Amino acid sequence: MRSTFVPCAFFTGLFASAHAFAQEYPARNIGGWTVAASKDKEGCFVTRTYEGEGETTLLLGLDVDGGNHLSVLNANWSIKPKDRWKLTFRLSNGGYSNQPVVGMASQGKQGFVTNFEAKFPSYFAASKALHIYRDKVPVEQLSLDGSGTAVAELRRCVEIFSAKTTARAREKGRSGQIPKDPFAPDAEPRSRD
């Protein structure tokens, strides 16, 4: 199974947005999980903090373009931002070996971020637990109770922003992300704001 990295700054923004939710989708508590819109309104996330050593925080983000991001953080961990590791992720019915992750820090905790194939949120929702290993060393073993309902709500949240993005594009008649000269050496997509 193949994955790509997402910039740490983007994912840190998802965590920072936990207290500044988009007005179109107020945060909701669904079965012990918090579902909320990302600050940039380009997706939503589901998160849970687990009691115990370092109070592990798990966050699964889903973008309107279908991309996903998984982050796990803990106040006791020594992983540093931009560190690169390969971890094994085990779900109830399968897993991902040698999954590349990138270190990050947010809200006084250290951890990592990674992204998976498009089907990952469905696998996550259908699983009872997520176990993570660094070689044979257990990194975390988390219950995913209630994740099925939370991920269903996560998808509804993303649909709201996906529909708004499509409507904005139709109103303009062309994408607002097209730069003045897309062939210029320094061309980058324009922001959607």
Please check whether residue 124 is in contact with residue 147, taking contact to mean a CB–CB distance below 8 angstroms.
yes
Q: How many CB atoms lie within 10 A of CB 147?
A: 27
**Helix or strand or coil: residue 163?**
helix
Write down the pLDDT at residue 48: 98
Token pair 């649909």: residue: 159
Question: Nearest Cα to 139, choosing from 81, 77, 48, 84?
Answer: 77
Domain 8-172 has CATH 1.10.3720.10: no
Please list the pLDDT of the chain residue by residue as tens digits (193 residues).
444 444 444 444 444 443 333 457 889 999 999 999 998 878 999 999 999 999 999 999 999 989 999 999 999 999 999 999 999 999 999 999 999 999 999 999 999 999 999 999 999 999 999 999 999 999 999 999 999 999 999 999 999 878 665 555 555 556 666 777 777 888 777 665 4
Residue 172, pLDDT score: 54
pLDDT at position 9: 46
Q: Dihedral of the CA atoms 123, 14, 65, 190 (nearest 10)? A: -170
Alpha-carbon dihedral 56, 70, 149, 38, rounded to 10 degrees: 100
What is the per-residue pLDDT for 166?
A: 54
Angstrom distance (rounded) from CA 135 to CA 88: 7
pLDDT score, position 27: 92
In 10 A of CB 118, how many CB atoms? 11
**Structure-block tokens of residue 165:** 């993005």
